Amino acid sequence: MVETRKKLKIYIPGIKFPSVSLTGNTCALNCAHCGKHYLEGMRKPERGELLDYCLKLARDGYNGCLLSGGMDGRLKVPLDFYAEEIREIKRRTNLKLNAHVGFIDESDLEWVKYVDVVSLDFVADDDVIKRVYKIDKTVEDYLRILNLLTEAGVRVAPHITIGLDFGKIHWEYKAIDLLVKYPIDVLVLDVLIPTKGTEMENVPKPSVEESLEVVKYARERFDGELSIGCMRPLGRWRLEFDKGAILAGVDRLTNPPRKVIEWAKTIRDVEIIYECCVM
């Protein structure tokens, strides 16, 4: 049972922290769990309009945005093409910027320093990477990105998707063991949503119980702030999982049901924050 004195931060990003796709609905990949589906709900400023879009966000009282999109042929989200606009956004506004970057390299260090945090999907199994993302990358490639960014002083928030291997849970424990060796202050746990129109649409959801075992393991191993991210199944599944995660001692929880928020207030000090959970 978690200490009741420990504050729970509840993040609700959609209202004041929109997600932006800089590639529209386009992605060079066709991942088994996503199939470009998650790009559809993002805002899509045209090429050259990102600065004006963000200046308007600032004028309208938004807190920041997630810069995201599909990967290009380099296996990068092409934020480097927006380097000047990103620099101007930080110079001319107080917006916080969270970024999805893909497989960046040393050439990206010049612009990535302007974002507040990099959200990095992390997978700790070579076979899962090949079968889910269908790319010729390995765990070492992910670790290279982590090394590059942390050594450059860029704040990184790794994301683990529980059940990413077609609903099966196994590699997630190794991922936690690897990540706790890095200077990260927040670790995000998502859970696979079997999404219509993807290869995984008929995969069973990971069970609440098994998913919470990963949460508990992460809580035991990780000294920083543990966050439950946006992506996890809805309905009764989310209600039961979120309560279990709160009892397991997570520090941050994104978009929980209203019932969970009211229940959480009876056992924890609760703060509501209208930003991405890594901010």
CATH code of the domain in which 198 resides? 3.20.20.70
Distance CA 50, CA 46 (A): 7
Helix axes 235-248 and 208-221, enclosed angle (nearest 10)? 30
Summarize pLDDT for 148-204 with one digit per residue, the tens: 999 999 999 999 999 999 999 999 999 999 999 999 999 999 999 999 999 899 999
Kindly report the pTM of this predicted structure. 0.96
Query: Among candidates 26, 44, 46, 45, which has minimal Cα distance to 36?
Result: 26
Residue 113, in any domain of the structure:
yes
Residue 151, in any domain of the structure:
yes
Rounded mean pLDDT of 29-50? 84
Are 16 and 38 a contacting pair, CB within 8 Å?
no
Helix axes 172-179 and 208-221, enclosed angle (nearest 10)? 20
Residue 2, in any domain of the structure:
no
What pLDDT, on a 0 to 100 scale, did the predictor assign at position 3? 52
Distance CA 82, CA 88 (A): 10
Residue 95: band (very low, low, confident or very high) from pLDDT cuts 50, 70, 90: very high
In degrees, rounded to 5, the angle at the alpha carbon of residue 222 between the alpha carbons of residues 217 and 226 is: 85
Domain extent for 22: 8-273
The tokens describing 64, both together, are: 């920041």
Residue 1, in any domain of the structure:
no
The chain-wide mean pLDDT, for the chain, equals: 95
Residue 72, in any domain of the structure:
yes
Residue 33: band (very low, low, confident or very high) from pLDDT cuts 50, 70, 90: confident
Please give the tally of structural domains in the chain: 1
Residue 278, in any domain of the structure:
no
Residue 20, in any domain of the structure:
yes
Residue 3, in any domain of the structure:
no
Summarize pLDDT for 110-131 with one digit per residue, the tens: 999 999 999 999 999 999 999 9
